[in-house]
Amino acid sequence: MDRDKPAATSESPRELLLYHFCRMQLPAVRLTTDTFGLHLHRTFALYLAKSPGVTEAAYLDSLYAIDWYLCVGCLERQQTAWERLFASRTGRTDCLLIDALRARAVRLYPRDEEKQDSAVSEFWSHLIVSESAGSIPVLARYDGQRPLTPWLIRVFQNWHLSQLRAKPDETGLPEEEIGLPLPPQTEDRWHEAFVQAARDWLAELADEDLLLLGLRIRYRMSQRDVAKLFGIHEGNVTRRTDKLRDRCLKQIGEVLVREGWEGDDLGEFVMTEMGALLLDDPRLSADRLATLLAARGKHLPEPGQESDS
């Protein structure tokens, strides 16, 4: 069948209107109405599993149609769709998506150039191919309810952080500690309220607290190695980390409650969102942390030396 020729389908008039709108916006990405309809119903089912009771009309109302259509084109292995995805730009910095992923790889692996180079290519390879038997390819998880490029950046970060946590030779943070980054399923309103409250909280922290967070979150250093750099007992690192976590939950939680939060998972939401924000905050950048260490007459150990006695 000619992929550019719509087939006879039972799509509703609204779905057909959406189909022709997407075709006009992305004429080089050619899908039949049958393929379009199948993916539309598939992604609605994905969203329905996360938001039971939502109607298809409500789903379509909030659909990022062009991003969704581009994603479907990639899943259908259309070269023009992949070319468009590679050329996508991120909203915040207007840089290419591929460059944004590379920048995130530098943050995730700050002292491992080899891993930085391979991180993006590994991620791309799993966009339409399952990572393991029974798993769903990355792009097949996109439901069209948020912009595609920020979603891909977030999935990229969480995918690599999951790998880091799974490696027995990596020193990671316990799940109860501040900064556990997991894929959020929250409304934009709460994310925006969180970001402002979290930045206000970070602005109040002393340099020593920022350094502690940076070493534990960005560099994934063990409590033992942080204690050696600080010249304090390991137990003090635990207590100071606990106090930071408690202050974070209390201060940010109070702000969200004032904004109208009524859910039971406020702590989980704050912990989930905090990881990505800490990695992005300039006060915890590699250069800033190096400056804070230098002020103490210290520097980061070379890779592989963190656990030396």
DSSP state letters, 234-258: HHHHHHHHHHHHHHHHHHHHHHHHH
pLDDT in tens, 217-251: 777 788 888 888 888 888 888 899 889 888 888 88
Cα 230 from Cα 44, distance rounded (Å): 51
1 — pLDDT class (breaks 50, 70, 90): very low
Does residue 302 sit in helix, strand or coil?
coil
Cα 269 from Cα 238, distance rounded (Å): 22
pLDDT in tens, 57-83: 889 988 899 999 999 999 999 999 988
Say whether pLDDT at 304 is over 50. no
CA distances from 236 to 233, 258, 289, 294, 298 (A): 5, 33, 20, 21, 19
Cα 176 from Cα 159, distance rounded (Å): 19
Place of tokens 């379009």: 36
Q: Counting beta carbons within 10 angstroms of the beta carbon of residue 260, is it exposed (0 to 12), middle (13 to 18) or buried (19 or more)?
A: exposed
Average per-residue pLDDT for the chain: 77
- Provide the phi-psi class of 173: left if phi over 0, else alpha when psi is between -120 and 50, else beta: beta
Say whether pLDDT at 207 is over 50. yes
> What residue segments make up the domains of the chain, in order of their start?
13-166, 188-295
Pick from 85, 87, 76, 58: nearest CA to 145: 58
The answer to whether the CB of 7 falls within 8 A of the CB of 33 is yes
Helix axes 266-280, 148-166, angle to 10 degrees: 100
The answer to whether the CB of 223 falls within 8 A of the CB of 237 is yes
